[in-house]
Amino acid sequence: MRVLAEEEEDMLPSTPGKVKIERAGAMTRQLHRCFASTGTMFLWALFLVAMTATYLSFHSFVDTSSRYFAASWGGLHWERQIRASASPRRPPGSAEGAGLSVLVTGAAGFVGTHCSLALRKRGDGVVGIDNFNKYYDPSLKKARRALLASHGVFVVEGDITDGRLLTKLFDVVPFTHVLHLAAQAGVRYAMENPASYVHSNIAGLVSLLEACKEADPQPAVVWASSSSVYGLNDAVPFSEAHRTDRPASLYAATKKAGEEITHTYNHIYGLSVTGLRFFTVYGPWGRPDMAYFSFTRNILQGKPITVYRGRDHVDLARDFTYIDDIVRGCLASLDTAGRSTGTGGRKRGPAPYRIFNLGNTAPVTVPTLVSILERYLRVNAKRNVVEMPGNGDVPFTHANISLAREQLGYKPTTSLEMGLKKFVRWYLSYYGYNRGTQAFNNL
Ligand SMILES: NC(=O)c1ccc[n+]([C@@H]2O[C@H](COP(=O)([O-])OP(=O)(O)OC[C@H]3O[C@@H](n4cnc5c(N)ncnc54)[C@H](O)[C@@H]3O)[C@@H](O)[C@H]2O)c1
Ligand SMILES: *[C@@H]1O[C@H](CO)[C@@H](O)[C@H](O)[C@H]1NC(C)=O
């Protein structure tokens, strides 16, 4: 049996609203017709040179101006906001100790928002950074930022590849921990925009680790890898000891690369590193590009949903993990992360390097997911069942979480049934479905 460990975005057709690569064929034929005579060809050549020159000068203008606008951070007021947001507010002498000061990357994202809130609520200091990119509806990211702001968490708008910004943040605040969640997520979108994965998951990661290794004191780093690193591994349930050298998507490959890159920073510079392999996280404030979310949207709008099925009519299954369980795993990782040992770019001694699965250990098939949603939404879904495209076969994810249970005290407690109820309740309220109707009031 071949088993794929990709996220459930794979069960969806590619999400609408993203840049589509133009078909070049028709254009080439048209050009060919225009170049038919040599006279017009010379004119065309002139025209093309002029166009290219205009494009290049425009491009460099846009480039400089965007750099100018991106540098909108800094200043005394800005630094005061950062410091206030970063300072722990635990009562002195509290049982949990002094409190952490955490830089959360991807803080306006799904997992980032929940973790930032949970940290703030128990009295830790949190500063977020997020570039608010348009991979999915940025208004949802802005709403999450507003929620964080109402709890006293400040989110800097900036890119993690901006080394100057990161250095500045570490100059202003001696962060004890970094929770690195910023990434280009999604499996299918990698075929449309591979560069965005290299930008955020490789270049962004290295830029962040450079800032962490330079910082004095060095923070401990906890970051999100993914269950997708298991790739073509076919031993179930997936354990940290299994092979992860056969990724099935560029997304997975960049996460796997991240595990190797963080290892070198641990080895050379003494950074304390914990990598968390999340298994299909879902819940309120979730990601619109994921199946449970877009199924909900389509079912409510009376639109058909595409449900993929594996070979031989085998249903796909995922180890869906509720956001609150993931948050507890992330906080436990921060709390148990040993110190980084380096200063001035050199390590003083070995620092911890850990990797944990964070799953639910209860895989559920996609048709079951759909029927739970139908029950809560009180609408029958229009299912469009299709065979999984060739790049996907029998995908099934199932986490072995004994390592996280043993070392982090991680114990997921939310069934898909319970978690989806909370998600649907949030969805209906966020998108205004229960205004003026009684239909969903008892959910
Ligand atoms: N949700 C899941 O099922 C799942 C599963 C496995 C792994 N993960 C990983 O967990 C992390 C969080 O995922 P999520 O579901 O919250 O995704 P998300 O897309 O909601 O959050 C990521 C955030 O990072 C930001 N970001 C991306 N590139 C950036 C950059 N270069 N600079 C600054 N900000 C940037 C985005 O704007 C976004 O708000 C990611 O690393 C993801 O790969 C998620
Ligand atoms: C889960 O992983 C642990 C090692 O972390 C191993 O001892 C155990 O046998 C695994 N469980 C299963 C069901 O494979």
- The whole-number average pLDDT for the span 130-151 is 98
- Catalytic positions, please? 251
pLDDT given for residue 70 in this prediction? 53
Cα(244) to centroid of ligand 1, in Å? 21
Q: Is 175 inside a domain boundary?
A: yes
Which protein residue has the closest C-alpha to ligand 1 atom 9? 224
Q: Is 375 inside a domain boundary?
A: no
127 Cβ contact partners less than 8 Å away, ≥ 6 residues apart: 82, 85, 86, 102, 103, 104, 153, 154, 155, 156, 169, 173, 175
- The whole-number average pLDDT for the span 415-430 is 98
pLDDT given for residue 49 in this prediction? 52
Q: Is 351 inside a domain boundary?
A: yes
Question: Binning pLDDT at 50, 70 and 90, where does residue 17 land?
Answer: very low
Q: Give the residue from 134, 219, 237 showing the smallest Cα distance to 179.
A: 219
- The whole-number average pLDDT for the span 127-148 is 98
Q: Is 44 inside a domain boundary?
A: no
- The whole-number average pLDDT for the span 1-30 is 39
Q: Is 7 inside a domain boundary?
A: no
Ligand nearest to the CA of 361: 2
Q: Residue 153 belongs to a domain with what CATH number? A: 3.40.50.720
Percent residues over pLDDT 70 in the chain: 81
Cα(393) to centroid of ligand 2, in Å? 25
Give the total number of structural domains in the chain. Answer: 1
pLDDT given for residue 102 in this prediction? 98
d(CA 235, CA 241): 11
pLDDT in tens, 56-69: 444 444 444 444 55
Q: Is 53 inside a domain boundary?
A: no
Range of the domain at 206: 68-279+323-359+399-413
Which protein residue has the closest C-alpha to ligand 1 atom 26? 182
Which protein residue has the closest C-alpha to ligand 2 atom 7? 402
pLDDT given for residue 440 in this prediction? 65
Q: Is 355 inside a domain boundary?
A: yes
Q: Is 151 inside a domain boundary?
A: yes
Q: What residue ranges in 227-337 does DSSP mark as E strands?
A: 273-278, 281-282, 304-309, 317-318, 321-322
Token code pair at residue 389: 């495209």
Mean pLDDT for the chain overall = 86
pTM of the complete model: 0.86
